[in-house]
A and B are shown apart, each in its own frame.
Chain A
Amino acid sequence: MTAKNIAIYINDKPYQVQPGQTIMQAADLLGFHIPRLCYHPKLSLEGACRVCIVEVEGMRNYVASCAFPVTEGMKIHTNTEEIRRARRDIVELILDNHPQDCHICERDSNCELQRLAHTMGMKKHHFSGDRKRYEKDVSSVSVVRDPEKCILCGRCVRMCSEIQKVHNLGYAHRGFKTVVIPAYDMPFKDSVCTACGQCINVCPTAAFVEKNYTQELFQVLGDSSKIKVAHFAPSVRAAIGEAFGMEPKNLEKELVAALRKLGFDYVFDTQFGADLTIMEEAHELLARISGKGKLPMITSCSSAWMKSLEQFHPDLIENVSSCKSPMSMMSAIVKTYFADKLQRNPADIVSVGIMCCTAKKYEASRPEIVPSTDIVVTTREIAWMIKSAGISFPNIPGESFDQIMGLSSGAGAIFGATGGVMEAALRTAYEMYTGETLENIEFTEIRGLKGIKEAQVVMNGKEIRVAVVHGLGNTAELLDRVRKDNKYHFIEVMGCPGGCVGGGGQPYAGLNAIPLDEDALRKRAEVLYSIDRVKTIRRSHENPHVQRLYKEFLGKPNSEKAHHLLHTHYHAKEPRGIIPDHPIVK
């Protein structure tokens, strides 16, 4: 229901707006973009940076437009000489406590602070003073924290606590010495960080970036004694164009061509690994439904969810599927089956995962995942490598994947969107369980960006209740429900908002875009659903190359060999995390 409009004036021009919104919200709708920094529409209001100040007639001080509501007759000025100068001074003060080394910074040309300084018209430094000095925390294999770059906007803190409910980050110490850091000033590797990388996605500067492995990868690519194998996740092809200023678009063939130009000997598709995951996971589900193992079964593809499980929800470890992620299955098969085909020593093969994900770097480092993925780079890192190597991406003739592990079904493609793994698994599980062909294979009720989605599927008269959740905060909420009322058979969990398409390794939001923007997530997901729609094979178990892999090498799904290579296990981990307002299971 819309309330009666109220009259406000912005820069002396009258407008009718809805009451109950902030000056910033009203101004946005009217086409005034008030500069901002700590504000994020998905996070709570912080009001910390003061960049969004405006003048309101009758008020003694400038007000933060992100937090100040509009009222009848309000006269707002967004662009007077004084307000421009005040805003510029605020940004300048932030910058004077910031390393002024943009040209060697990871976020050069893609930094909100840099853009802001440019729009503010900063031409020189008026205030020079002490600058905070900190060591970088490079202890984690996934996330690097550089407090010198931090401007204390707190978006990462709010992301980590409000959306992900990991609560790894907080403000510690005081005044000039305030720093965003895990509890006890712990190094990241010892903290409850799940490596999801969402702090990186919302950071306006380079205070959080992924651990960069591009130099190691360039080195490997120059080593002629090695066989270099790349495999990339569904979401990478959907989003990599954004790093080149494009809208989300399927650039699969162009990326295959670019990777070959970079020096990879073989380019495989992680979607093949996804099909393989479905074969194993669907069989595991059916076994559990028939009484062998705990229900609900919870998916295990998301590496940030794995660490979250072990730290926050160890009571549910037995509910989680033992299947490795598609990336780890790929590497396992590359170093066994594929090595056999080449008649080469697996030690000569370097398996490189190109992922939308920072937590996959952590997954590759888990000691129990063998054979492992040797190097994991994110969408952002591979986009930089392609630029750095002078490859005219994406304007190059597309090429096809290498065979043996290059063919995938549509089910494998949709893995990248929240609900996709569930949908893919149901397509296979239904047909295996009933022996009938599933008529309508699109499970639209579990698609989309609703936090927790539910559906029922009837298989041979048996009602199978499923739930799909994305974002670790939503996950905590759903798992509470499961503890109280265990009504589900199968749950898909993805650690990042939107699923892998919203992964912590995806391209930064471009000019005038905001991180985590739902439209962008939807567009990336739609790329994957459109890949699925045009595939002739849309069910994982119909992938002839997966069938061949079982016939020639693995035997049957969940066979001893499959278990040895494609499955793993999880253990409760320290430090034990705490999720406020959720029961603690000791």
Chain B
Amino acid sequence: MTTLTSDTAMDELKAYIETVKKKARPESYLIAILHKAQHLYGYLDKEVMNEIAFIMNLPTAHIWGVATFYHYFNLTPKGEHTIAICLGTACYVKGAGDLLDTLKEELKITIGETTEDKLFTLQEARCLGACGLAPVIMIDEKIYGEMTPKKVVALLAHFRTEK
């Protein structure tokens, strides 16, 4: 996630929309614009969607329909680190359920939520293509294999101290 102040982020978003507006049928680029906004802000903020509505001259109800249709779009702010726990068959058989319990207990959140200190967002994944290392979790872009509840606690502690 890029950490930009909202002003520079908004400038970049507006610049992007300006390039899109020169194309034929600019309204068909709404998904791309929302991707850009999410990339800049980490999630789709209501104020940002309002701004897109004004610049693109599209009703907010329409933008909201698209933003809620695709699971990729986050509608709430995400934590600094995203933890994706694989609940695919291999990982599940190898004890991913226990890992999830540990994560929930340690972070005091459930899947789809963000910790109060905004450090972690917990997500579920269905197979990250690393079944040989099952059970795995992915933090940000990195896979951590052969996990146990104990290793999970240690990993979280590592990220917390890194902060």
Contacts and interface: CB of A to CB of B under 8 A. Distances in A.
Interface of A: 161, 167-174, 182-185, 575-582, 584, 586
Contact of A575 (B60, B65, B68): B60
B57 A581 contact: yes
Contacts of B58: 578, 580
B59 A183 contact: yes
B65 A171 contact: yes
A161 B65 contact: no
A183 B61 CA distance: 4
Given A167-B62, A584-B57, 13 more contacts: A170-B62, A170-B64, A171-B65, A173-B69, A174-B69, A183-B59, A183-B63, A185-B64, A575-B50, A576-B54, A578-B59, A579-B59, A581-B57
Contacts of B59: 161, 167, 170, 183, 577-580
B118 interface: no
Nearest to B59: A167
Query: A-side binding surface: helix, strand, loop or mixed?
Result: loop
A173 B65 CA distance: 6
Interface centre among B49, B54, B61, B68 (most CB of A within 10 A): B61
Given A161-B59, A183-B60, A183-B63, A172 B68 contact: yes
A146 to B, nearest CB: 18
B53 interface: yes
Interface in B32-73: 46, 49-50, 53-54, 57-65, 68-69, 71
17 contacts: A167-B60, A168-B61, A170-B61, A172-B64, A173-B68, A174-B71, A183-B64, A184-B46, A184-B49, A575-B50, A576-B54, A577-B59, A578-B53, A578-B54, A578-B57, A580-B27, A580-B58
Contacts of A582: 57
Nearest to B27: A580
B60 A184 contact: yes
A577 to B, nearest CB: 8
A182 B46 CA distance: 13
Nearest to A185: B64
A178 to B, nearest CB: 9
A584 B68 contact: no
Contacts of A167: 59-62
Interface centre among B53, B54, B65 (most CB of A within 10 A): B65
Nearest to B65: A170
Nearest to B71: A174
Q: When A and B form their complex, which 6 residue pairs have the shortest distance between CB atoms, in order from nearest?
A: A167-B59, A170-B61, A183-B60, A183-B64, A170-B65, A183-B61
Given A184-B46, A584-B54, A578 B60 contact: yes
Contacts of A581: 57
Query: B-side binding surface: helix, strand, loop or mixed?
Result: helix
Contacts of A579: 59
Contacts of A185: 64
A169 B64 CA distance: 10
Contacts of A575: 50, 60
Interface centre among A580, A582, A584 (most CB of B within 10 A): A580
A170 B49 CA distance: 15
Contact of A182 (B49, B57, B61): B61
Nearest to B67: A172
B15 to A, nearest CB: 19
A174 B68 contact: yes
A580 B60 contact: no
A184 B64 contact: yes
A579 B57 CA distance: 7
B57 A580 contact: yes
Interface in B74-106: none
Contacts of A586: 54
A185 B68 CA distance: 10
A161 B62 CA distance: 10
Nearest to B54: A584
Contacts of B68: 172-174
Given A161-B59, A183-B59, A172 B54 contact: no
A412 to B, nearest CB: 37
Nearest to B53: A578
A319 to B, nearest CB: 23
A185 B57 CA distance: 20
Contacts of B62: 167, 170
A579 B54 CA distance: 10
A167 B50 CA distance: 14
B46 to A, nearest CB: 6
A108 B57 CA distance: 40
B54 A169 contact: no
Nearest to B70: A174
A169 B57 contact: no
B59 to A, nearest CB: 3
Contacts of B50: 575
Nearest to A169: B61
B43 to A, nearest CB: 13
B68 to A, nearest CB: 4
A161 B61 CA distance: 10
A45 B30 CA distance: 23
A576 B36 CA distance: 24
A345 B69 CA distance: 56
A185 B64 CA distance: 8
A132 to B, nearest CB: 15
Contacts of A576: 54
Interface centre among B46, B63, B64 (most CB of A within 10 A): B64
A457 to B, nearest CB: 36
Nearest to B64: A183
B65 A172 contact: yes
B114 to A, nearest CB: 19
Contacts of B61: 161, 167-170, 172, 182-183
Contacts of A183: 49, 59-61, 63-64
A582 B65 CA distance: 21
Contacts of B60: 167, 183-184, 575, 578
Contacts of A577: 59
Contacts of A580: 27, 57-59
Contacts of A170: 59, 61-62, 64-65
A309 B71 CA distance: 36
A578 B69 CA distance: 21
Contacts of B63: 183
Nearest to B46: A184
Contacts of B54: 576, 578, 584, 586
A312 to B, nearest CB: 11
A173 B57 CA distance: 22
Nearest to B60: A183
Nearest to A586: B54
A252 to B, nearest CB: 40
